[in-house]
Every structure is written in structure tokens, then in C-alpha cells.
Amino acid sequence: MQDIYIGRQPIYDRNLNVYAYELLFRSGLENAAMFSDGDRATSHVINNAFLEFGLEKLVGRHRAFINLTRAFLTGEWQLPFPKDRIVLEVLEDIEPDAAVIGAVRELRRSGHTLALDDFLYHDKLRPLIEHADIIKIDLMAVPDGELVAHLDQLRGYPVHLLAEKIETLEQFEQCRELGFDYFQGYFLSRPQVISGQAVPASGLATVRLLAQLQDPDVTPEELEALISQDLGLSYKLLRYINSAFFALPRKVDSIRQAVVYLGNRTIKTWATLLVFCGVEDRPTDLMTIAMLRARMCQLLAEKTGDAEPEIYFTAGLFSALEALLGMPLDQILEALPLSDTLKAALLHHQGAIGEALSCVLAYERTQWDSAQFRDLTPAGITEAYVEAARWADETTELLLGTTN
């Protein structure tokens, strides 16, 4: 078993009833958020809230506020949030560029509730205000005597106001008189650290599941058989499907039912999160390299018209398994349900897939003369590398919570 932690702080309405809880990163029983990277903190909060503790245990019938960094807003790996239970907080240090504004607009259009965190008014924030439901104002950040003027800038917008970091009775009463809707701070309630234990899922079993999910023709029966082989995977999946998130009319008590209900795409997101939250003792650069190799192999296949580029993706991704899992590659591949063709590509760089992998590895090592694949020009291969590097940075940033 593995010790896990999460913090929560109540948010109250005008009648001092609990409206919601903000979920906070905690790495231990110390009631402090000790982290250097917001993406990593968000990754852990999501993993612990949805896959470990369960949302219903943390917030009951109330809503949960979760901080989202830029990577989570704009990344391709979208995680499933229950729209009626979660308030997505847009962090104050996110630059409101076109990508962010577009992502916020789409989240609001799809029915999510959005809050702007630690808000200080600036004209450039207007596009975000227009799509926000809640504005969180940090009383400690607003200069003395400027709170009323600050609120006047927001009067024309149909938003709810939340006063945070309320430290005294005087501050609370002032904010209630000024028309704030929600209140949060040490005066009302300090954050509480909740601890628990997680049932670990085998890293190899989770990677094996990801391998199966690369096959577009994989059946529910095959996924069921694979998940059922690992206690940790089975436990996490059934806990997830039976959480308040889904609010199913009856309990799902079989892996088969869970697989059919969730579908391959959601299971792939779920398995990916488990993999990358479980490899923190491995260098972040290794994960970025694995993602880059996978995407570049896939792009090479697409550029040359191969009918199965997803297999090339798997080859690139799994080429880093030896370093990732600390096991010889041939032993790892013995336990994975891969075709002989793919195993030959990984072990001996044979066949078209192996040639693509050789090209990617040569480019990675700056061996330009060997970085060749079929009839692609050097410019075409470089284009694939640049696109793969961009995608790998964004994806690793989201899943691992790091900035390269």
C-alpha cells in the first residue's frame, strides 16, 4: 500500500452553509502546499480525487474546486470531469492568449463551471471574464482601499464573486456587505489534510493495457482479461466507475461492465494517467523522449501513407520501456501482448516499423546520415521531429506536471 494525501478547504455561501470544497495538493500530513510545479500538483490532485479517494468521500454532495494550469486547459489529453460537480479554476498566472481563450470558451460551451483564481482586474482579462461563472478575489492581493473600485469593474458581468483569504471577522462582514456570494479563508476554516492508502497498480500491467489500447480492434473481452490480471488496476477501475462522478442507477461489479460503459477512449486516458503518475522516480526527460519517439514514428508512418500509424506510435513509446521500468527489454516484451512484427521492430529494428524507429533514434543522436526513412526528404524528417517535439512537450507537461 502507498500513503496518499490531499487537502480540502470549505467555501461557504452567504448563510455560512458549505457550498463547495477546494481540493489542494498535499505531499504529507503537513498542512502546506510544498511543490515547485503547478502542473505536477494538479496531476496529483486529479489522480487522488478521482482514482484514489473518490470524489464522494472528499466533498460529499458538494462541488469541488480544482486548479487547472495552462497545460490542462489546452492539452490534447482531456480528462473527464463531472460538469455538475466540479468548478474548474483558471490559475492567475495563465496568459490569456488565443489558445487559452479558445479552450475556456469550449469548456463553458460544453457546460463546465469556470472560476478565475486570485483575480486582479486588467483589460486583457475581459475575454476570460466573459466566460467565467465565478471570480475569486484574493483580499491579500488587493491594495488597501481599492476593493470597491476593483468590484466596480466587474459589475456589468453576470458572475458570482468569491472572497478568498478572509483572515478576520471584519473582512468577512465587509465582503458580505459588498455583495460577495461565497467566502473562503482561515477565519472561516483552515484546510484539512486527508490521508489514505492507495492500492498500487503494476507499472508493467498498466503499460500492457496501454499497448492493447493502441489496437483499434481490441475487444472488451481482451481488455477485461488484461485488467483482471492486476488487483490494483481492477480495484481502481471499479472504484472509478462506481464513484459519484457517474451516478449510475446500480452498482457496476464486473470489469466487463466497466469496460463496456467507459469505452476505449476513457480507459486509455485513465490508464495513461496511472502510468505517468506512477513513474515519478524516473527522469522527466525520459518520459518526454518516449513521447517524442512515439509521435515521430507515427508521423513518419502518416507521411509515407502507412495504414497503421498507431502501431508505429507504440513502437516509439515502448522503445523507452527498458529505461522506464528498469528491466531488460526482451523480458518486458515477453509479458506484453504484441505482435512478432512489433517485437522484431523493437528488439532488432526489423521491418518498416523498425526502420522508422531507427530513423527516429538516429535523429535523436544527431546521426544525420542514418536518419532516413523510405523516400522522405531530410526536410520532411525534420518537420516530423519538430512537430513531435512540440507534442511531446505539451503532453508530458500535462501528464507528468512538468515544464521542459
Count: domains in the chain: 3
Residues 171, 264, single domain; the answer is no
Which of 168, 196, 224 finishes a domain? 196
Residue 401: the pLDDT is: 47
- Distance separating alpha carbons of residues 237 and 296, to the nearest angstrom: 31
Position 37 confidence tier, pLDDT thresholds 50, 70, 90: low
In this structure, how many other beta carbons lie within 10 angstroms of the beta carbon of residue 188?
17
Question: Cα–Cα–Cα angle for 156, 159, 163, nearest 5°?
Answer: 110
Residue 300: the pLDDT is: 96
Residue 93: the pLDDT is: 85
Give tens-digit pLDDT for 137-175: 999 998 878 899 889 989 889 999 999 999 999 999 999
More confident residue, 229 or 107: 107
Burial of 327: CB neighbours in 10 Å, binned 0-12, 13-18, 19+: middle
Give tens-digit pLDDT for 279-297: 544 556 777 888 899 899 9
* Residue 33 DSSP code: -
pTM: 0.61
Q: Mean pLDDT of all residues in the chain? A: 83
Say if residue 22's pLDDT is above 80. Answer: yes
Residue 274: the pLDDT is: 66
Residues 190, 205, single domain; the answer is no
Residues 288, 335, single domain; the answer is yes
Question: Strands 192-198 and 63-68, how do they pair?
Answer: unpaired
At residue 264, the 3 state secondary structure works out as helix
Residue 318: the pLDDT is: 80
User: Are residues 164 and 184 in contact, defined by beta-carbon separation less than 8 angstroms?
Assistant: yes
More confident residue, 226 or 247: 226
Residues 168, 225, single domain; the answer is no
Dihedral in degrees, nearest 10, Cα atoms 131, 133, 139, 143: 30
Position 275 confidence tier, pLDDT thresholds 50, 70, 90: low
Q: 113-136: b or e for each residue (b if 16 or more CB lie within 10 Å)? A: bbbbbbbebeeebebbbebbebbb
Residues 207, 184, single domain; the answer is no
Residue 130: the pLDDT is: 93
Say if residue 63's pLDDT is above 90. Answer: yes
Residues 96, 169, single domain; the answer is yes
Mean pLDDT of 171-186: 95
At residue 297, the 3 state secondary structure works out as helix
Give tens-digit pLDDT for 317-365: 888 878 766 778 888 777 665 678 989 999 999 999 999 999 999 999 9
Question: Cα–Cα–Cα angle for 321, 326, 331, nearest 5°?
Answer: 70
Kindly report the backbone phi and psi dihedral angles of residue 319, in degrees, each rounded to the nearest multiple of 5, phi listed first: -65, -15
Structural domain boundaries enclosing 206: 201-277
User: Are residues 33 and 12 in contact, defined by beta-carbon separation less than 8 angstroms?
Assistant: no
Residues 225, 333, single domain; the answer is no
Helices 378-400 and 351-364, interaxial angle, to 10°?
80
Residue 53: the pLDDT is: 82
**How far is residue 32 CA from its own chain's centroid?**
22
Residue 386: the pLDDT is: 95
Backbone CA torsion sign across 54, 58, 63, 65? negative
Of 328, 325, 316, give the one whose Cα is nearest residue 288: 316
- Distance separating alpha carbons of residues 215 and 66, to the nearest angstrom: 33
Residues 75, 171, single domain; the answer is yes
